[in-house]
A and B are shown apart, each in its own frame.
Chain A
């Protein structure tokens, strides 16, 4: 009897999805849908937060006041993105504290890209152009994802992202028009960030078993490989404006496909970084844990102050 009821609820639910009617926090949803969303949204939130670290590394060393101001603004935006997404995940029944615990314990993942180091100023340009570029490619279709709070958070995020990519490209463009050393720095950053950015779209479609279900639920709107191809096509053209090269000897326009062909991805490296063996995994989590622990007294003090004010107010009323 109960099983019958669930089957009926599931078909009503799928019907709504098929009609592009958004699902809201209080609506019935399959447990698997809820868990998939919690995992995806919290991973996404963690990525925004951890993503502040590699860029934060260069705030004090930005080459001019203009660059410093824009980099601070960008990093601040990423903190905001993390907060929008944590709030969206919380509507699904997981607490903020629990998500933070999952990040710190390593139970929750974040985008593998942020486990690479930022070695030169040009890396800040490459991150804006390629990493934010890949993120935008992923995020724009998510503005139409089936879960309302997630879609609304993505609309807000996408509005803010375009400045991130433009400021990055501007940094690279300036370097590409500079002296020999600056040009070399620009090319070196592109060389190091290209492949990790291509990997940001996740495993290829035949290695992502959950894609079909996520597409049916319209949590995802395009497959990893579809988005990756779009990204490669766009970057292959944009890099020409910089007069630089993408580090892929197999990159070639394929007239028949109407797309650029590109070389094989080093999936071994991808899985190693996911497994915690990237160049900066330990450093990133350690930095987050340290910030959280050192902020504990501030959180406690604020709670104590709020409580005291509350008591005073109650006393005044009485």
Chain B
């Protein structure tokens, strides 16, 4: 069986490639953890990914996100998730991963041929 889900850290790079120019003393360990930031810009809208930042803990991540991403009232709610906890689909598998939807045109309303006289449908 093929596994479609591999751990993909959005802002991180540890699981697939190593930093090419790395000086070898693992400088990334000197950084605070990386967090992904999601912001709801107004009531009724979804939280949307806006970028990432470093912070020592969740509280600091939220405060930094406020300072970095909402200086002009761009948000009313902030989510932060430590980047290492994000799992993502693998773009290399897209062809096979999304292929179940490829041959199902009947999921779209335009698939159905109905007379023009039919109104309000």
Contacts and interface: CB of A to CB of B under 8 A. Distances in A.
B57 interface: yes
B115 interface: no
B88 A93 contact: no
Given A90-B34, A97-B30, A101-B27, A26 B8 contact: yes
Contact of A153 (B51, B71, B90): B51
Contacts of A26: 8, 16, 88, 90-91
A36 interface: no
B19 interface: yes
A20 interface: no
Q: How large is the interface on A (under 10, 10 to 19, 20 to 34, 35 or more residues)?
A: 35 or more
A35 B31 CA distance: 21
Interface string A267-305: 000000000000000000000000000000001001101
Given A90-B52, A303-B56, A306-B57, A95 B31 contact: yes
Contacts of A305: 56-57
Given A80-B68, A309-B57, A87 B51 contact: yes
Contact of A98 (B10, B21, B50, B92): B21
A96 B12 CA distance: 11
A83 interface: yes
B103 interface: no
Contacts of B18: 93
A255 interface: no
Given A96-B31, A98-B19, A83 B53 contact: yes
B31 A97 contact: yes
B13 interface: yes
Interface string A76-104: 11001001100110111111111001000
A208 to B, nearest CB: 22
Contacts of A93: 13, 17-20
Contacts, number: 89
A152 interface: yes
A302 B28 CA distance: 16
A24 B60 CA distance: 27
A203 interface: no
A26 B6 CA distance: 12
A141 interface: no
A311 to B, nearest CB: 12
Contacts of A34: 20
Contacts of B57: 302, 305-306, 309-310
Given A25-B10, A35-B20, A77-B71, A97 B91 contact: no
Interface in A11-49: 24-28, 31, 34-35, 38
Contacts of A95: 19, 22, 27-28, 30-31
Nearest to A26: B91
B71 A76 contact: yes
Given A26-B8, A26-B91, A31-B20, A97 B56 contact: no
B15 to A, nearest CB: 10
Nearest to B23: A98
A149 B11 CA distance: 10
Contacts of A25: 10-11
9 contacts: A24-B91, A26-B16, A73-B71, A93-B19, A96-B54, A97-B28, A98-B19, A98-B21, A149-B51
Given A91-B11, A97-B28, A302-B60, 16 more contacts: A24-B91, A28-B92, A31-B20, A80-B68, A84-B68, A91-B10, A93-B19, A94-B19, A95-B19, A95-B22, A95-B28, A97-B31, A101-B27, A299-B56, A303-B56, A306-B60
